[in-house]
Structure 1
Amino acid sequence: MEQSVKDILADDFWIMPATPEYIDKGVPYITSKNIKNGTIDFSKVNYISQEDYEYISKNRPILVGDILISMIGTLGETAEVKETDGLFYGQNMFLVRIDESKVNKRYFLNFFKSNCVKRALKGKQNQSTQKYLKANHIEDLIIPVPDVTKQELIAKQLDKLTYIITLRTNELKQLDDLIKARFVEMFG
């Protein structure tokens, strides 16, 4: 069975407040570029005041478990909001809340990593001075929806494969570093 992404969501909205005034320290304020490899990268962010955070987030808060999708610049990257992310807000992202009675969250996140979704989003992107997606580009995507038990099994298998790939990538990097160190050791 297939459904549109819109049909499997409990809620969604475009996070695009007017850019608040930045300050030296405060509440982290992220953009699409901070969503990388399934996580939110807080290493290079701007900051806003607690008052600005409360004002812009009161009607559309970002909650633990929400999924953020990058919509401007870097397109279609996803990250699930974790408890450890703490308080933050941002812009240029689409927020979705999955109806988990219909779709397993890990299954959904793996679906977004697939090449078919990346190609579909690339084909839908608008271009002006910068690439961007519209909300309906995400909502109109068609997702295969087997029963939830099968989704959980698929998600577990894909998560294991991702973990193995990460391990192997790290091993290759360490071996590459070892080769470089040996080369320097041998030849100065």
Structure 2
Amino acid sequence: MKTREVKLGEVANVKGGKRIPKGIGLINIPNGHPYIRVRDLNNKRLLELDNSYEYVDNETQKVISKYTVKTGDVVLSIVGTIGLVAIVGRTLDGANLTENCVKLSSFHGVNRDFLYYYLRSDCGQQEIRCGTVGAVQAKLPIKNIQNIAINLPDYTTQERIASLLLSIDRKIELNQKINDNLAA
């Protein structure tokens, strides 16, 4: 299979999230302004709103409203627990994004699902580790994310690879639900 090496910044826009203002806390009362944190990415392929999410109040939303995600964006954690990856689902369209993550969007020449699986792969995680800096608090700077190298096959091959991996993930999810039901 023939591939070409590209930098992530060549095939997707990389944009950081936003810290909530100092002295402001998140709230537990659902209000239409969910706030995606690093812990929300744990072992999830698709991020969907559930009762574990916290929210920002209406005033804070006005201040951080430029740092939201859209359905289909890929989210990558960049501070603390670095390298968690998930895709934004429809119930989190317009959600706010923590400063400890970036969103990848506006994909050109790369299949979104292929990119997701690449970043989760050993190869992608190695690239992420190579770009990580900091001894006390590890961090993955945006310029280093943009320079992540990806060996990209042609688009049709990307679609086939992503489709195969997605079917495996769906089968695993189904088996997990069956096991959970049996355990209950």
TM bin (shorter chain)? 0.7 to 0.9
The structure that is helix-richer by fraction is 1
Q: Which runs of 5+ in 2 are unaligned?
A: none
Question: Any idea what the Cα deviations from partners look like across 1:61-102, whole Å, max 9, x if unmatched?
Answer: 3222222111112211122222222542131111111424x0
- The answer as to 2:19 corresponding to 1:13 is no
Aligned to 1:3: 6
1:137-170 deviation per Cα after TM superposition (whole angstroms, max 9, x unaligned): 3211111222211111111111122233344555
Q: In the alignment, is the contact (CA less than 8 A) between 1:98 and 1:105 conserved in 2?
A: no
Match for 1:55 among 58, 63, 71? 63
The Cα RMSD (Å) is: 2.6
Identity between Structure 1 and Structure 2 (%) = 22
Residues 2-28 of structure 1: CA deviation (Å, up to 9, x unaligned): 10111111x221113343622452322
Listed as ranges, the matches of 1:103-142 within 5 Å are 103-142=110-149
TM-score of the superposed pair, with normalisation by structure 2: 0.79
Say if 2:34 and 2:96, in contact at 8 Å, map to a contact too.
yes
1:7 partner amino acid? E
What's the TM-score, normalizing by structure 1? 0.77
CA spacing shift, 1:24–1:150, aligned 2, 3 Å: closer
Q: How does 1:83-122 map to 2 (within 5 A)?
A: 83-91=90-98, 92-100=100-108, 102-122=109-129
1:154 to 150, 161, 165: 161
Structure 2 CA distance for aligned equivalents of residues 131 and 43 of structure 1: 29
Q: Measure, in 2, the Cα distance between the counterparts of 1:64 and 1:172.
A: 29
Distance 2:134 2:176 in 1: 34
> Using the alignment, how far apart are the partners of 1:48 and 1:159 within structure 2?
33
* Contact 1:33–1:73 under 8 Å retained in 2: no
